[in-house]
């Protein structure tokens, strides 16, 4: 199905929202020192500092002042910090939310509109101390797996294949957090995606099947941290396989990728096994059949049935350059049938955001629930990610092709566990409401 430009503009206004609270309490004439610096130090300078991925440093007033109007635009439209979740519907409580409050946005807007003054330099808080630029998001890992270096030429077709290395794990352990880390800014640019697996070989040295899936990486994705009661078994004695998709960026790049893993203590087992899979692809497949005509915006839909009750822990949209907006909906096995839109999010190919639900609001679904994923792709000239709006685009693995599905993290529940968790959730909600 295709959708009009006016409607998709409305749907995607999640990334174009103005500060929503007119009652936010802000100073009449905010200053950098007293009002703006604390916001930047909390939500911006982790990336906007020397040696990090952002294009400019925003640590002191001298660095910030030339960018004042640009900063206003980026925070006012919620383009920065990257967090593309539609704030108008669905669940809004997440473990990894870096976004600004309405009051913080209003403060920055008022600061720029009143002249972007420095104020008293003595009021400026001390900049935060940072871990090294290449520090792990999951803390120092229990295990670091380094894949062989792959040299990506300056120009050429997209590259697909696998890299293998020893996992370095002798005994079975349960994963509690995992992160894929490209080493260096240019490596981030050439890695379209990287899927990590644990694999075994037969007596002839041949890899046995595709292996146990561990984690997906795409541009801008954060680490995956599992809920405390869950984990994924990583068998000892396995090899690590990196299924890569690399593309050239105009200069030769030595692509180095590593995997950081944290475990439960030795001998400990989790209550639940945590899964992460590509679900709800267009036409019911992982990739499916996408039809995005030249100059148009197209919608596609996919469905996946959960055979067991489950607790949903993470949602991450996945599309390519033309991706614009995605929604996930649960269709419950009730009579009459009831459907609920859980979340919608704008999409930016440079920031594959994974939304990790807070424990007290993570969706609980009964057995037989159907996940409905709706994706919109924008092939118009106005879409900044569009290479050529005059060309039709369809499904495929290349960067210039398209996909439409959601990465979903979850763990299964028995029917009894589902009912118990639902009852606990309802009691907590009643207490809050009263």
Upper half-sphere CA count for residue 271 (Cβ side, 13 Å): 11
If we measure between CA atoms, which residue out of 291, 378, 284, 389 comes closest to residue 326? 378
Residue 183 contacts residue 259 (beta carbons within 8 Å): no
Query: pLDDT by residue (tens digit) across 154-177?
Result: 999 999 999 999 999 999 999 999
Confidence of residue 71 (pLDDT cuts 50, 70, 90): very high
Provide, rounded to the nearest whole percent, the portion of the chain with pLDDT above 90.
65
Residue 433 contacts residue 314 (beta carbons within 8 Å): no
For the residues 58-64, what does the mean pLDDT come to? 95
pLDDT at 185 over 50: yes
Rounded to the nearest angstrom, the gap between the alpha carbon of residue 119 and the centroid of all alpha carbons in its chain is 37
pLDDT at 5 over 70: no
* pLDDT at 10 (0 to 100): 33
* pLDDT at 9 (0 to 100): 37
* pLDDT at 325 (0 to 100): 96
For the residues 297-301, what does the mean pLDDT come to? 93
* pLDDT at 318 (0 to 100): 92
For the residues 417-434, what does the mean pLDDT come to? 88
Q: The tokens 């629930």 sit on which residue?
A: 369
For the residues 283-311, what does the mean pLDDT come to? 84
Verify cis geometry, omega within 30 degrees of 0, for the bond prior to 81.
yes
Bridge partners of 181, per DSSP, are 258
For the residues 329-338, what does the mean pLDDT come to? 94
Provide, rounded to the nearest whole percent, the portion of the chain with pLDDT above 70.
91
Full-model pTM: 0.80
* pLDDT at 166 (0 to 100): 94
Query: pLDDT by residue (tens digit) across 190-217?
Result: 998 899 999 999 888 888 888 999 999 9
Query: pLDDT by residue (tens digit) across 89-101?
Result: 999 999 888 899 9
Rounded to the nearest angstrom, the gap between the alpha carbon of residue 127 and the centroid of all alpha carbons in its chain is 27
For the residues 118-141, what does the mean pLDDT come to? 87
* pLDDT at 14 (0 to 100): 35
For the residues 415-426, what does the mean pLDDT come to? 94
Bridge partners of 277, per DSSP, are 408
Q: Which residue has the higher pLDDT, 117 or 287?
A: 117
Mean residue pLDDT of the chain comes to 88
Bridge partners of 276, per DSSP, are 409
For the residues 245-249, what does the mean pLDDT come to? 92
Calpha distance 191→182 (Å, rounded): 8
Calpha distance 342→324 (Å, rounded): 18
């Amino acid at each position: 199905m295709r959708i009009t430009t006016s409607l998709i503009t409305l749907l995607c206004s999640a990334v174009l929202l103005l500060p929503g609270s007119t009652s936010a309490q802000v100073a009449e004439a905010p200053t950098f020192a007293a009002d703006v610096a604390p916001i930047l130090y909390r939500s911006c300078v982790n990336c906007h500092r020397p040696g990090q991925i952002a294009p400019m440093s925003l640590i002191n007033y001298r660095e910030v002042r030339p960018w004042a109007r640009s900063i206003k635009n980026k925070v006012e439209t919620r383009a920065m910090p990257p967090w593309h979740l539609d704030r108008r519907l669905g669940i809004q409580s997440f473990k990894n939310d870096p976004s600004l409050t309405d009051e913080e946005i209003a403060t920055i807007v008022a600061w720029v509109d009143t002249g972007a003054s420095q104020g008293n330099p003595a009021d400026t808080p001390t900049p935060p101390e940072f871990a090294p630029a290449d520090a792990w998001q999951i803390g120092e890992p229990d295990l670091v797996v380094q894949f062989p270096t792959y040299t990506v030429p300056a120009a050429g077709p997209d590259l697909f294949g696998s890299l293998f290395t020893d996992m370095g794990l002798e005994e079975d352990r349960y994963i509690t957090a995992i992160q894929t880390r490209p080493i260096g800014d240019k490596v981030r640019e050439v890695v379209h995606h990287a899927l990590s697996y644990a694999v075994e070989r037969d007596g002839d040295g041949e890899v046995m099947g595709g292996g146990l899936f561990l984690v997906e990486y795409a541009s801008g994705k954060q680490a995956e941290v599992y809920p405390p009661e869950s984990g994924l078994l990583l068998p000892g004695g396995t090899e690590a396989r990196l299924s890569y998709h690399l593309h050239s960026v105009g200069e030769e790049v030595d692509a180095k990728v590593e995997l950081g893993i944290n475990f439960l203590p030795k001998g400990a087992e989790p209550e639940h096994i945590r899964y992460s899979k590509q679900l709800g692809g267009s036409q019911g497949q992982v990739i499916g059949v996408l039809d995005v005509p030249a100059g148009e915006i197209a919608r596609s839909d996919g469905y996946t049935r959960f055979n067991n009750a489950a607790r949903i822990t993470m949602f991450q949209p996945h599309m390519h350059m033309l991706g614009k907006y995605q929604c996930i909906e649960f269709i419950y096995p009730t009579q009459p049938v009831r459907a609920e839109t859980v979340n919608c999010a704008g999409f930016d190919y440079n920031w594959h955001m994974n939304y990790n639900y807070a424990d007290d609001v993570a969706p609980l679904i009964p057995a037989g629930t159907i996940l409905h994923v709706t994706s919109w792709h924008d092939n118009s000239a106005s879409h900044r990610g569009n290479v050529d709006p005059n060309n039709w685009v369809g499904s495929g693995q290349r960067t210039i092709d398209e996909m439409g599905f959601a990465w979903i993290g979850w763990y299964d529940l028995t029917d009894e566990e589902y009912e118990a968790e639902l009852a606990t959730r309802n009691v907590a909600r009643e207490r809050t409401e009263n």
